[in-house]
Structure 1
Amino acid sequence: MSLWQDLEKLKACTWVELSHPLNNQSPYWGGIPDGSVELCRTVFDYDEEMLSCRIHTYKFPGQFGTHVDFPCHFTPDHLSSQAFGGKQMAMPLVVIDLTSKIAANGPDTAIEVEDILAWEAEHGRIPQGAFVALRTDWYKRWPDNDALNNFDEEGGEHCPGWSIPALEFLYEQRGIAMNGHETFDTDASYLAVEADDLAAERWVLDHGHLQVEVMCNLDKVPATGAIIFVMWPRIEDATGMPVRAVAVFEE
């Protein structure tokens, strides 16, 4: 059976970019050493003898820009990049909007199970195998690193994010395939401070799941009905890798 007609239907849909553009000034996690990013370094140029072409090299951390984290990111001997193939790169997309709760309670806000149940009461049960993205509109702070971290006067971070009970519910009760968010970290900042650890991120990865961080444009995607494609380079033993993520949906 040919899928060509299905492809033509997809091409006629709306496509939304969910990945940030990257350059040598793009922000990244402060613990990564300086000098870890060098994009588009020319190693062969148009005026070289015999063959006129330009070749670049690219140096970047795996956790750079919009990126996927593999389970081995936090724990040795857990699954790395080669354990996941093409079938893991296409999923139904669910977008849970947390912006009203953040507006009411401030940036130190976490999504809880009751927020998910309220979302389901309006939109229906989250399907098994879904990618669940947490919309906070935090992406609008890109590429201002200080704004993304939302530092206070003492250098503490104040960012919204996930709670462990919410993630446990989604993976164990709804059987989702992947979660994503717009911030640098999975955890709501205040929960990370209380735990003295990125405990929510550790839970996701230690249970063999994947997540995508530093997403964008989730406000341009419907709550249900879209498909997300998350593509990364096929580099073995990677703990993380920048991704090209796009959403496709019918208006």
Structure 2
Amino acid sequence: MSKRFSKIAAGIMMMAILVAITFTPVKAQDDNQNADLWQVYETTFKSAKYVDLTHAFSPTIAVWPGFGNATFRATTAGADLPGYINEGETYTYADHGFIATAYELPTDQYGTQLDPPGHWNEYGATISDLPATYAIRPLVVVDVHEQVAADPGYHATVADIEAWEAEHGRIPEGSVVMIRSDWHKRWSEVERFNQKPFPGVSLPALQFLHLERNILFHGHEPLDTDTTPTLEGEYWLLHNNYAQAEGVANLDQVPEAGALVAIGFAKPEGGTGGYARYIAICPPDWPNGVSVVEVPGAPLPVQPYPLRRDENGVLRPTPPES
């Protein structure tokens, strides 16, 4: 293991020790007043580097053609509010002090996603059934981007996973394993992104990860797990009650080992897909990403120009017409 990743492992071990101290009996807590989760945040998470692994979604992104694209528009009043607004009128900054956006979403299989089993399995968990323990996990990144550069239809194999373990050690139980293909760099190529050949993950690799390594779920950069005629990998996963991440971005900007991933997703009751956000939490000396110290998040930056809707209904800072 490299010196960098030895250092990462030591940092994660220290965090685990601090977390363990947090949940010791009350008397032990009294003796370790400062060893709580807030202290873990101050010593570990505040200086960590955060990398967004999520595409923003819009009406123009790639999507399976059987679903179609979303529509964004200004929100209009749903009823008369006497002296304020009439039904069907648009809310504006000038007249009402605020605006809102209406999203017409033809599918929950859109953009960067978290797929629950209910997407394919009529007895499967829906997105609102996923436990809160999904929130943060170890992140493993298996890099196959060179194989994909030579063969766009390359599917990650058990040998690729074993090569990762030969360098970094056994994949942690309960971790999230992301397959780096660099396919996310073609996100703006809407016509090409979803066309075959594109990279995937082989069924033996998925079975190895879940049955031999007991991971939480895997993720990939394309919008499908594989390109087999029956989508055999996706079928196996969801019919065996495993979730998966799709449409993930920026895996080239995070370490292969030693990082964590924070997982957030919308929670429509009974939903068959999740509009998800994945954030990699990397060591403080990692060259990519930003820390809380660098970007505290409050107050948020001011836009350079007023927000105006473009032709697709998306709000963007727009300079005045010259």
Give TM-score scaled by structure 2 length: 0.70
Among 129, 144, 159, the residue aligned to 2:198: 159
**Is the counterpart of residue 69 in structure 1 residue 102 in structure 2?**
no
Q: Which amino acid aligns with 2:159?
A: E
Among 231, 235, 248, the residue aligned to 1:198: 231
Report matched runs for 1:98-117 at 5 Å.
98-104=144-150, 106-117=151-162
Higher relative contact order (CA 8 A, sep 6+): 1
Contact conserved, 2:118 with 2:126, CA < 8 A, in 1?
yes
Q: C-alpha root-mean-square deviation of aligned residues, in Å? A: 1.6
**Is the counterpart of residue 25 in structure 1 residue 64 in structure 2?**
no
Q: Residues of 2 paired with 1:186 and 1:31: CA distance?
A: 17
Deviation for aligned residue 1:134 = 0.3
Could you tell me which residue of structure 2 aligns to residue 80 of structure 1? 126
1:198–1:39 CA distance, 2 compared to 1 (3 A)? same
**Is the counterpart of residue 143 in structure 1 residue 188 in structure 2?**
yes
User: Number of residue pairs matched?
Assistant: 235
Higher Cα Rg: structure 1 or 2?
2
Could you tell me which residue of structure 2 aligns to residue 244 of structure 1? 277
Could you tell me which residue of structure 2 aligns to residue 181 of structure 1? 220
Could you tell me which residue of structure 2 aligns to residue 39 of structure 1? 72
SS in 2 for 1:243: strand
Contact conserved, 2:74 with 2:99, CA < 8 A, in 1?
no
Give TM-score scaled by structure 1 length: 0.88
Deviation for aligned residue 1:82 = 2.0
Could you tell me which residue of structure 1 aligns to residue 292 of structure 2? none
Q: Residues of 2 paired with 1:48 and 1:160: CA distance?
A: 49
Deviations 1:142-185 (A, max 9, x none): 12122212x4xxxxx10111111000000000000010000011
Q: Which amino acid aligns with 2:172?
A: P
Question: Unpaired segments of 5 or more residues in structure 1?
Answer: 152-156
Q: Residues of 2 paired with 1:40 and 1:120: CA distance?
A: 48
Q: Residues of 1 paired with 2:41 and 2:73: CA distance?
A: 33
Could you tell me which residue of structure 2 aligns to residue 211 of structure 1? 244
Structure with a larger share of its residues in strand: 1
Q: Which amino acid aligns with 2:269?
A: E
